[in-house]
Structure 1
């Protein structure tokens, strides 16, 4: 499978840019330390979305090539880059199946976040073996294996409303979410980048009702496009259910960020 079908996130892009949490500063400090980032390297953010990795990584390297198959995500990234005065990110439309044809410079680092689960992971890692410098690394950032992080108390409330409108199967655009059958660490361990270490961070996020509703519209399985003319009713019912669950209007979640850092032996 290639990077996520660009249609999966149509309509979700501004919500993704606004409501998805950013990664902790500790992740980028870890990358700088592990790979001696000194402003001279070239890094690839594959499946970049609106630049959640690319933008914080940019000050540490000479250039970030930020690749995504969804034009709307790239446009959000350009807007955020302009707002933050970040000028060394190359926003490139492309797909993970075509890495070898992208005319990329020798890469010192490749970071993949949530998009890694959509890819032909073995092929991508084989291609990166050809495209990276000898001391380069591949970093996969996620929330950890499915089920490894406790769900917040409000999660069942959201799930019930979503199921009422969209069914219980986890959708992804016109199809369904492909749950990986193998843990990412095992996939990395049999690649050229077989020396794998784990770093992790936990941080508390507190959201309002508006932010929690906006977060749902950022997901490939509950975009405004999927909801269509039921979008307003979905939002109304979700707001009411959340307030019935907790009248304070403050919804806490402890977010786990895990980075699998893989290098050649």
Structure 2
């Protein structure tokens, strides 16, 4: 998350780690293999939130520097790390503008979740070029984003219809200060010090209860408790009632979820010609 997004997610903290889908474990297996992570490396998680990437990575490296501008997110990340017995994490408040002032030190990987679109991407990638070690990479990871080749869940129109009844919540996630920029991340990377791009993805099916679908909505900035304000009880009541009316056979609401990783590295050096 960038400094322009500070405060937007503060009220989502109790719901963020609990109801957002976790990154597929195959992402971490791939990173461990691809970069020979053996417990000796350091990694930067920029826009770490509550630690969805931080905590699994901490099991593979010596230290993860987890940076986020929202103190409540960092506090929840610390709590989850302590609760699960994960150590080797240096939690720091900051953002892409203050990154070089944090004295992060050299890292093998700089990972970012959906936070990258909040950032000034071009200057950030130049700054990361001064931090990332030879052979390292920028890793952009997403989980649960919409993709044209994945059918949206059948219950999504119900959520959207209820959401649009309430003032302030009909802002789409592609508008406002956190809107996805017009220039694709890949095109920005191609013009950066990390133009060698590889994209991978893993799909799985997630099943949620009514309460979990409602909790997921409260984890988004545009339907957060702060955005809903005094309308929150009515929103939750109407959404639960509408979802219950769908009555899936097993009482669970399915969604096909994709974890995607864009791995960006520096250009390969040309091998010298034989004499």
Q: Does 1:58 align with 2:58?
A: yes
Q: TM-score, normalised by structure 1?
A: 0.94
Matches within 5 A, 1:232-251: 232-248=233-249, 249-251=251-253
1:169: Cα distance to partner? Answer: 2.4
Matches within 5 A, 1:30-41: 30-41=30-41
What is the CA–CA distance in structure 2 between the aligned matches of 1:40 and 1:235, rounded to whole Å? 46
Which is worse superposed, 163-172 or 232-241? 163-172
Contact 2:21 2:143 in 1 (8 A): no
RMSD over aligned Cα atoms: 1.9
Which sections of structure 1, spanning at least 5 residues, go unmatched?
A: none
Q: Deviations over 1:56-112 (max 9, x none)?
A: 000111100000000111011011100110110111110111111110110110110
What is the CA–CA distance in structure 2 between the aligned matches of 1:177 and 1:261, rounded to whole Å? 22
Which sections of structure 2, spanning at least 5 residues, go unmatched?
A: 268-275
Contact 1:22 1:52 in 2 (8 A): yes
Matches within 5 A, 1:1-265: 2-3=2-3, 5-143=5-143, 147-148=147-148, 149-165=150-166, 166-170=168-172, 176-248=177-249, 249-265=251-267
Which is worse superposed, 51-60 or 29-38? 29-38
Which is worse superposed, 245-254 or 187-196? 245-254
TM-aligned CA distance change 1:146 to 1:161, over 3 Å? same
What is the CA–CA distance in structure 1 between the aligned matches of 2:147 and 2:266, rounded to whole Å? 29
Q: TM-score, normalised by structure 2?
A: 0.91
TM-aligned CA distance change 1:192 to 1:144, over 3 Å? farther
Structure 1 consecutive aligned stretches of length 4 or more whose deviation exceeds 2 Å:
1-4, 143-150, 166-173, 245-249
Q: Deviations over 1:166-210 (max 9, x none)?
A: 35322699x554122122222212111110001110011000000
What is the CA–CA distance in structure 2 between the aligned matches of 1:61 and 1:84, rounded to whole Å? 17
Contact 2:78 2:91 in 1 (8 A): yes
1:245: Cα distance to partner? Answer: 2.3
